[in-house]
């Protein structure tokens, strides 16, 4: 057993109640980003730079506040979304939401975040596998994601079988024109 496994508690993945969505505050969203992608059709063009994503603001009502993000999660759940949490030692370390039937046969991977200290340990993969299974069971054949265009995030989705879409769904592109819009056959 490697030291990390010996020290860290096991990670349990389970469905979250609507009332638990406010636990998002437990997740550290911080990320250092040195490469961003521009999407041109199905091509991705890398751009070097010094971007960083700071933690969601614990106070206030701004776009990057915890409150705004919790409202976003509640909106998905109120529209049929299913939230899964990854819990370790009683703390929320990852969260993902799938919205089945965004369009007929198409599910949306609407939200996926793993806390900074817990990334690259397989939690995102476990969450997305289970979210895909929920979409399949609901009868969807495709899943789309509007992905943060950072190198790590895009590599994660490519590794999970997502591919850039030539024609992103208009309702998602309008919301996040700078994202990389990807799809995967379920
Ligand atoms: C993208 C994200 C959800 C992936 O979750 P994760 O638990 O780190 O991913 P996993 O451990 O299951 O998979 C790791 C794979 O993801 C990629 N990856 C993503 N972030 C990484 C990081 N910080 N360090 C190393 N690899 C990373 C690698 O390609 C890696 O592949 P490998 O195992 O073949 O090397 C997570 O890194 C995250 O929350 N990032 C910041 C928020 C974000 O961009 N969310 C997506 C919004 S659309």
Per-residue pLDDT of 149-172, as tens digits, reads 999 999 999 999 999 999 999 999
Contacts 24+ apart (CB under 8 A), 152-157: 152/31, 152/33, 152/119, 154/37, 154/44, 154/180, 156/124, 157/182
Q: Which atom of ligand 1 is nearest to the CA of 121?
A: 11
Per-residue pLDDT of 56-69, as tens digits, reads 998 889 988 999 99
Total-model pTM: 0.94
Output the DSSP codes for 5-67: HHHSPPEEEEEPPGGGGGGGGGS---EEEEEEEEEETTEEEEEEEEEEEPPPBSSS-STTBHH
Interval 75-95 mean pLDDT: 97
Per-residue pLDDT of 9-55, as tens digits, reads 799 999 999 999 999 999 999 999 999 999 999 999 999 988 888 89
pLDDT for 5 equals: 52
pLDDT for 61 equals: 92
Antiparallel, parallel or unpaired: β 163-164 and 142-147 = unpaired
What H or E segment, with its residue span, contains residue 88?
strand 82-88
Cβ(125) to ligand 1 under 6 A?
A: yes
Residue 2 has pLDDT above 50, yes or no: no
| Residue of the CA atom closest to atom 23 of ligand 1 | 119
Domains, the chain, with CATH or none: 10-185 (3.40.630.30)
Cβ(148) to ligand 1 under 6 A?
A: yes
CA of 121 to the centre of ligand 1 (A): 8
Residue the block writes with tokens 């890398």: 46
CA of 66 to the centre of ligand 1 (A): 21
Distance CA 155, CA 63 (A): 26
pLDDT for 3 equals: 46
CA of 120 to the centre of ligand 1 (A): 5
157 three-class SS: helix
Per-residue pLDDT of 111-149, as tens digits, reads 999 999 999 999 999 999 999 999 999 999 999 999 999
DSSP classification of residue 177: T
pLDDT for 6 equals: 53
Contact between 128 and 96 under an 8 Å Cβ cutoff? The reply is yes
pLDDT for 50 equals: 83
Contact between 16 and 84 under an 8 Å Cβ cutoff? The reply is yes
Residues in the chain: 186
Residue 93 has pLDDT above 70, yes or no: yes
Distance CA 61, CA 113 (A): 20
């Amino acid at each position: 057993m490697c030291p990390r496994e010996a020290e860290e508690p096991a990670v349990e993945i389970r469905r979250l109640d609507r009332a638990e969505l406010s636990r998002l505050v437990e997740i550290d969203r911080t990320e250092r980003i040195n490469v961003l992608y521009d999407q041109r059709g199905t091509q991705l063009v890398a751009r070097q730079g010094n971007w960083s994503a700071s933690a969601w603001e614990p106070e206030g009502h701004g776009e990057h506040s915890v409150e705004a993000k919790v409202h976003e999660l509640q909106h998905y759940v109120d529209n049929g979304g299913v939230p899964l949490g990854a819990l370790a030692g009683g703390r929320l370390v990852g969260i993902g939401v799938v919205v089945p039937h965004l369009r007929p046969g198409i599910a949306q991977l609407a939200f996926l975040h793993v806390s900074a200290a817990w990334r690259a340990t397989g939690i995102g993969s476990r969450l997305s596998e289970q979210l895909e299974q929920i979409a399949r069971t609901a009868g969807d054949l495709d899943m789309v994601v509007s992905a943060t265009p950072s190198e790590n995030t895009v590599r994660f989705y490519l590794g999970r079988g997502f591919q850039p879409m030539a024609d992103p769904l208009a309702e998602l592109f309008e919301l996040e024109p700078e994202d990389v819009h990807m799809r995967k056959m379920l």
